[in-house]
Amino acid sequence: MTTNFDAAEIADILTEKSAPWQPAEAIRIVYGAFEGQRAKYGSAVNVDMATWAQSRQEAAYTPHTGDKSTLPGEVGALLAPDGAGVRRRAQDVLAPTWVFVDTDDARQSGTTLRHRLMELQIAFLMTESFTSRHNGNGVKWHLFLPLSQPKTFSSRNLPGIDARATLEARKDWWRRVCDHVKRALFTLGELTQEQDESHDEPRADDDTADINAINGFRLATDN
């Protein structure tokens, strides 16, 4: 169990399991991009990490209305094409491409975690959330941890496969993977694990609820 590890053990595991070091220009980032949370269709993006980080920096200085739903969204996954583009439904996820960590506890600084990931030469991107430092809030952050290779899911459309049960098993497995990674990262960064609201059940009538309920697939709409 990750909770029994200390920071030194986790650092050793990260060093052992990580892919070889590469410059940001050589690391590929694949995701689904949406103009806003209400956008039904988006586009598949495949860029190098340096370009992706630059686009996030530029977005941070783009004026907005203050409505989070109007901000661009990103889904860290390969998404099945569907006519006009890609959709952010759980059944359209072919493979996750990054682990997304979100903390709403503004009292917890990500500085230690950031420095340790840099020391270990782990590829990551840390950004401030949309509500960071607003209305008296402290600094709130998001962390993106790209996978060296997308984690491809098995097909749900083969003979004898229960598509609905397979989808639920996928979501449960990926949620547990992300929770495991998050606990390790929080231990590494000397942070306290907080309740993750992404485990709430999605609404059946919400076309995007499934995708928003999967930790790691949630929209990273905040700058």
Per run of 10 residues, the mean pLDDT along the chain (length 223 residues) is: 77 92 94 88 95 86 72 90 90 93 76 93 87 73 92 82 88 92 92 55 31 31 30
Residue 223: what pLDDT?
Answer: 29
What pTM did the predictor assign?
0.81
Query: Which residue type sits at 97?
Result: T
Distance CA 99, CA 150 (A): 11
Distance CA 116, CA 14 (A): 11
Residue 198: what pLDDT?
Answer: 42
Instruction: Give domain status of residue 113, yes or no.
Output: no
Instruction: Give domain status of residue 223, yes or no.
Output: no
What is the total count of domains within the chain? 1
Residue 97's domain spans which residues? 21-108+123-163+195-212
Residue 194: what pLDDT?
Answer: 59
Q: By C-alpha distance, which of 84, 109, 79, 100 is closest to 174?
A: 100
Instruction: Give domain status of residue 53, yes or no.
Output: yes
